[in-house]
Structure 1
Amino acid sequence: MSDAGGGGGKGGATGADWEETSPERLYVITGGRSGASAAAAALDLVTLIVARSGARPGMQPEHAAIVQLCQAPLSVAEISAYLGLPVSVVTVLLGDLIADNRVVARAPVPPARLPDRALIEAVIDGLQKL
């Protein structure tokens, strides 16, 4: 790639580095959308995403990357980290994939409730008597 942008952007960064982190790139990836769709509005950092199928030819590269990553459940935060994209951009992309029925969003499994203190004490008492 050539450095068509001139000065390279951030303090000595190459043209490729500047392109990867530029706001223009993020604008293009999301199609200029900054707000999440209704489907993506319910997503938070721990929502699990699972692909329904593999990537198909002609998909936007970022959509295809998400579908490939999510063959096993991944959280929105993990997807953002793996792709090196802001969570806000990832939620827009996930909204597209949810609308196209390419991925499913699932709430994370809630943590198990701890048994009450009386039950724990009764078990410990029983074990000590053995």
Structure 2
Amino acid sequence: MYIVTGGRSESGDDPDSLLLDLVTLVVARSTAAAPGHSPEHAALLRVCQHPISVAEISAHLGLPFSAVTVLLRDLSAGGLVELRHTREAQRQAAADPDVETLKALIDGLQRL
């Protein structure tokens, strides 16, 4: 894996990289890797034509999770893939509660 990742265990200072986990969904924005990208980058883009989790990518390509995350961060930094973070979505939902649900909850509590 040292050769696949160029000896890296991380890629850059991308703040989104902290959220990259096994269930993060990935979708390719492009079908072709940029010049200088490895064959693994190109294979990753082919696998990601439809939303797919990082765990599934790892299984399809036969690469460890750590190597896949390095490659994904490279592609994300170049704008070639979109990362859909599940934790981010959960935090957003918690931060913006549904007003109708809150009203129904208050009404129910008042009836008690």
Same fold, TM-score > 0.5, yes or no: yes
Question: Does structure 2 conserve the Cα–Cα contact (< 8 Å) formed by 1:46 and 1:77?
Answer: yes
Provide closer, same or farther for how the CA distance between residues 72 and 29 of structure 1 changes in structure 2, counting only shifts above 3 A: same
**Larger Rg, first or second structure (1 or 2):** 1
Of residues 17, 21, 29, the one that matches 1:44 is: 21
Gaps of at least 5 residues in structure 1 are: 1-25, 111-130
8 Å contact kept, 1:53–1:67:
yes
Mapping of residues 1-130 of structure 1, within 5 Å? 26-37=1-12, 38=14, 39-56=16-33, 58=35, 59-108=37-86
Residues of 2 paired with 1:75 and 1:107: CA distance? 10
Amino acid at match of 1:30: T
Compute the RMSD of aligned alpha carbons: 1.8
TM-score w.r.t. the length of structure 1 is: 0.59
What fraction of aligned residue pairs are identical, expressed as a percent?
Answer: 55
Counterpart Cα distance in 1 of 2:70 and 2:81: 13
Q: 1:49–1:73: 8 Å Cα contact kept in structure 2?
A: yes
Q: TM-score, normalised by structure 2?
A: 0.68
Please, which runs of 5 or more residues in structure 2 have no aligned partner? 91-112
Structure 1 residue ranges, 4+ long, deviating more than 2 angstroms after superposition: 35-41, 56-59, 107-110
State the 1:36 CA deviation. Answer: 4.6
